[in-house]
Chain A
Amino acid sequence: DAGVIQSPRHEVTEMGQEVTLRCKPISGHNSLFWYRQTMMRGLELLIYFNNNVPIDDSGMPEDRFSAKMPNASFSTLKIQPSEPRDSAVYFCASSLAVGQVYEQYFGPGTRLTVT
């Protein structure tokens, strides 16, 4: 299995531009998570989906952030317009939730720099 795939691996953009991060979860997994990691705040959950349905988006910073999961094999996290404070590493993870016992598999992350 290829694991969780994220693209792009690095993104540099100017303030005000739209940024789209992409994630392909492990085939067969039914939960998908978007995390953000910064030096100041560490790892934070932004949003997670179960069976393609958003379950908890309380971590999404503001309306500039949106996430979609149109099918079981693809998700996007969009920032529009981007700001320098959005600079961080964004991780996608997936899991196969079986009752309450599960393990999350992380993608390699997308390093976003907004200038």
Chain B
Amino acid sequence: KNEVEQSPQNLTAQEGEFITINCSYSVGISALHWLQQHPGGGIVSLFMLSSGKKKHGRLIATINIQEKHSSLHITASHPRDSAVYICAVALNTDKLIFGTGTRLQVFP
């Protein structure tokens, strides 16, 4: 079993829909990262969180440390949100363990 599991693996949506991507992990962590990888390959850090909730524009990330679960929400999705979203957990060092990613396609 992978230490970091993401669901769904693939997701399609119509523009404007509310989107949720889930991440579950099985190890003790110091922080959890959500990353976005564009079709061109570049990776951008969206959020880093260790508790509660963070919001940036239309993106919201939540984490429940007790349940070892995090969600990434996108409100009012847009075709430019199409990308691969990757969850990564930081152990008690700087080492990151990555999920396999969720490929999101938003159609106009």
Contacts and interface: CB of A to CB of B under 8 A. Distances in A.
A91 B95 contact: no
Interface string B77-108: 00000000010101011111111110000000
A14 interface: no
B75 interface: no
Given A45-B96, A55-B93, A56-B93, A104 B45 contact: yes
B22 interface: no
A44 B45 contact: no
B39 interface: no
Contacts of A50: 94
A112 interface: no
Given A55-B93, A100-B30, A100-B31, A106 B44 contact: yes
Interface in A98-113: 100-106, 108-109, 111
Contacts of B57: none
Contacts of B45: 103-106
Contacts of A95: 94
Contacts of A102: 31, 48, 94
B89 to A, nearest CB: 12
Interface in A18-77: 31, 33, 42-45, 48, 50, 55-56
Contact of A109 (B41, B86, B88): B41
Interface in B37-56: 41-45, 48, 50
Interface of A: 31, 33, 42-45, 48, 50, 55-56, 89, 91, 93, 95, 97, 100-106, 108-109, 111
8 contacts: A31-B94, A42-B99, A44-B98, A95-B94, A97-B94, A101-B48, A108-B42, A109-B42
